[in-house]
């Protein structure tokens, strides 16, 4: 017959306390023990815990507290607590050592009122009544085991993400090394070959005109300076991405104004237009990118006057920054090679340029997680636009 769980403790007097502890319980309960019983009763009424008295066949004999309302007296407890199925012998074996308990954390119970709820169970043997009992109490949202497993899973995912990022960085570094090896084997050999040729010419004219020898030595000195500049540029290029680490609030409009007013005086007009917000980013790399693009447009312009426009369009995830000039344009065939180190298309400016400006720009933009593209109109052969997509949130 179904029996509702008691809403009050099974003992409200010293005599009733005997029914909880069993026949061996003393009939005299002092005030301290009474307070404990009273506190236990209140906790049970609040649903903090519940008690289930079981027969040795694990049918429910009695209950105490609304927390265990999901079981019914006279029915097997395994009907409501499926986790106990198969543990019958272990539960009965508790009789052999009444100090031993069986802990079952976060056990799902079957209940019409508390569907999907979980409770912790502690099973022990009640020597006074010679029967097993179950103490049920509320389970936290996660057990200690679940919390620990969750921590370990998160730590593993973080470690895997770090390894992946490190692997990508290593792959990028290896690609840079291969690129540098190719540069050193090709581009840096050019001034060395020229110096060797000049030296041989100087030996051939050792008995000749001293003025010619001095001219040859000046040419050797010029090639030496050129090589020094190339090595310095190469070092700066390899250091990009490691120099600048501080993310700070940057007023991009003010930054563009600084770039504009720091440019050398020429007959070209620099126009700033578009939306330039304040965002947290890397000031120096963004400055480097725009300054180099504008400087490149000024340096390679083929007319004494012209316009260079710096524009910005703010998008949800990024800033789209464009630098447009009305110069000679760039043949689409060279749109990829101009971003390689030591590449310059204007032979007239070769002495003033190491050909590293656009390579540094591309590496800086990609290091921030952005992209850069170039466009020129092959029909008019005039004007070039460099478009930089600069992310608002920088990657690590």
pLDDT in tens, 144-168: 666 666 677 767 777 887 888 788 8
Helix or strand or coil: residue 276? Answer: coil
At residue 278, what are phi and psi to the nearest 5 degrees?
A: -95, 125
Check: CB of residue 376 under 8 Å from CB of residue 329.
yes
Q: What's the rounded mean pLDDT across residues 347-357?
A: 55
What mean pLDDT is reported for the chain?
78
At residue 55, what are phi and psi to the nearest 5 degrees?
A: -85, 170
Can you give the pLDDT at residue 172? 73
**The two structure tokens encoding residue 209:** 């005109």
Is the per-residue pLDDT at 124 higher than 90? yes
At residue 266, what are phi and psi to the nearest 5 degrees?
A: -135, 180
Check: CB of residue 52 under 8 Å from CB of residue 133.
yes
**The two structure tokens encoding residue 4:** 């509702």
Specify the CATH number of the domain 14-141: 3.30.450.20
Least confident stretch, 70-84, 206-220, 247-261, 295-309 = 206-220
At residue 188, what are phi and psi to the nearest 5 degrees?
A: -75, -15
Reported as a pLDDT band with limits 50, 70 and 90, residue 212 is confident
pLDDT in tens, 60-103: 999 999 999 999 999 999 988 988 888 888 999 999 988 899 99
Domain boundaries, the chain: 14-141, 245-396
Is the per-residue pLDDT at 235 higher than 70? no
pTM: 0.47
- Which among 31, 71, 61, 66 is positioned nearest to 50, based on CA atoms? 66
- Where is pLDDT greater, at 2 or 213? 213
Within this chain, domains 14-141 and 245-396 share the same CATH topology: no
Is the per-residue pLDDT at 238 higher than 70? no
Q: What whole-number percentage of the chain has pLDDT above 70?
A: 73
Q: Is the dihedral of CA 43, 47, 49, 55 positive or negative?
A: positive
Class of domain 245-396: alpha beta
**The two structure tokens encoding residue 289:** 């990118």
């Amino acid at each position: 017959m179904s029996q509702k769980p008691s809403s009050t403790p099974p003992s409200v007097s010293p005599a009733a306390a005997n029914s909880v502890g069993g026949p061996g319980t003393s009939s005299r309960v002092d005030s301290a023990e009474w307070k404990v019983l009273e506190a236990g009763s209140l906790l049970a009424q609040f649903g903090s815990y519940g008690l289930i008295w079981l027969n040795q066949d694990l049918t429910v004999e009695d209950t105490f507290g609304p927390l265990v309302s999901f079981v019914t007296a006279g029915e097997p407890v395994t009907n409501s607590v499926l986790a106990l199925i198969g543990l019958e012998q272990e539960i009965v074996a508790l009789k052999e050592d009444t100090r031993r308990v069986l802990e079952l954390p976060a056990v799902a119970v079957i209940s019409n009122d508390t569907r999907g709820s979980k409770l912790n169970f502690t099973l022990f043997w009640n020597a006074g009544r010679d029967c097993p009992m179950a103490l049920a109490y509320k389970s936290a949202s996660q057990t200690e085991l679940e919390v620990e497993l969750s921590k370990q899973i998160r730590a593993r995912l973080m470690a895997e993400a770090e390894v992946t990022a490190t692997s990508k960085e290593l792959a990028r570094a290896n690609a840079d090394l291969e690129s540098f090896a190719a540069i050193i084997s090709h581009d840096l050999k050019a001034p060395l070959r020229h110096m060797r040729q000049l030296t041989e010419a100087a030996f051939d004219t050792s008995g000749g005109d001293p003025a010619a020898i001095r001219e040859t030595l000046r040419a050797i000195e010029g090639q030496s300076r050129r090589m020094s500049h190339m090595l310095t540029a190469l070092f700066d290029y390899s250091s990009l991405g490691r120099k600048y680490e501080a993310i700070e609030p940057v007023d991009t409009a003010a930054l563009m104004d600084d770039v504009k007013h720091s440019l050398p005086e020429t007959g070209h007009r620099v126009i700033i237009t578009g939306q330039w917000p304040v965002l947290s980013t890397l000031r120096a790399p963004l400055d480097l990118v725009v300054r180099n693009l504008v400087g490149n447009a000024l340096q390679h312009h083929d007319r004494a006057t012209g316009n260079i426009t710096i524009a910005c369009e703010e998008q949800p995830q990024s800033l789209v920054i464009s630098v447009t000039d009305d110069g000679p344009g760039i043949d689409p065939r060279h749109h990829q090679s101009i971003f390689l180190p030591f590449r310059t298309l204007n032979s007239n400016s070769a002495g003033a340029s190491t050909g590293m400006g656009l390579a540094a720009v591309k590496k800086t933009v990609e290091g921030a997680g952005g992209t850069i593209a170039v466009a020129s109109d092959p029909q008019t052969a005039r004007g070039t636009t460099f478009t930089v997509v600069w992310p608002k949130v920088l990657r690590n």
